[in-house]
Amino acid sequence: MERLDKIISSRTGLSRKEAKSAISSGKVFVNGAAIRSSEYKAAETDEIIFDGKRINGKAHTYLVLNKPKGYVSATEDPAQKTVLKLVPPDLMRSGLFPAGRLDKDTTGLMIITDDGDFAHRILSPKKHVSKKYAVTIDLPVTNEMAVAFEKGVMLSDGVCKTAKLEKTGEYTSFVTLSEGRYHQIKRMFGCFGAKVTELKRLSMGKFLLPDDLAEGECRELSEEETALIESR
């Protein structure tokens, strides 16, 4: 249970004073009833409507985004569009951030949350949460690349953890990582003189990018889906 003014403030970005004012003016409904007391405590399962829009009453928010090209993995940027611009208004709340980075020209699965502990668990190399990508390069994929990925490619910042490369076509492959260094896949293929021309994240842990989630779409994750992300 959580105070209503705190819920409204954290989910909308309003100050606590502004949230209290909105509640006292009759703009907040809980399970269909107008609530005018800021001290009212609501459960995360309650339906909370603020100013005509549904507010998520859960302690934390976990979203999946099918990231398109052209968006940067940041909460704000003065010159470029961020992935938070793709979060629907009814799911937006204060404190959301992308859990991990995808380059501006990389597409696919991205998790957006306000739970820092969860983000750390799925991103820490010590947790070994795998990330699978579909990759296209400008040179033929070779067995030499696959062997090197398995052994650990040497980059300027050290040897990469073991990675799996599965050839799917002359120029295409699946690559599975258990770490997330800056431009890692691009740099790994760069060791062989190859340039990555297309890169899409397909999965994290045992959670697959939903087939019915179009590029640019974002929705809330279920508890079962959130657990799958942390599964090895």
| DSSP strand pairing (41-42 vs 97-98) | unpaired
Q: Which of 5, 51, 90, 103 is catalytic?
A: 103
CA 31 – CA 153 distance, rounded (Å):
55
Burial 100-130 (b: 16+ CB within 10 A, else e): bbbbeebbbbbbbbbbeebbeebbeeeeebb
99 is written with which tokens?
A: 């859990």
The neighbour count for residue 143, using CB atoms within 10 Å, is: 9
Residues in the chain, overall count:
232
Annotated catalytic residue 90? no
180 is written with which tokens?
A: 């997330």
Which residues are identified as catalytic?
103
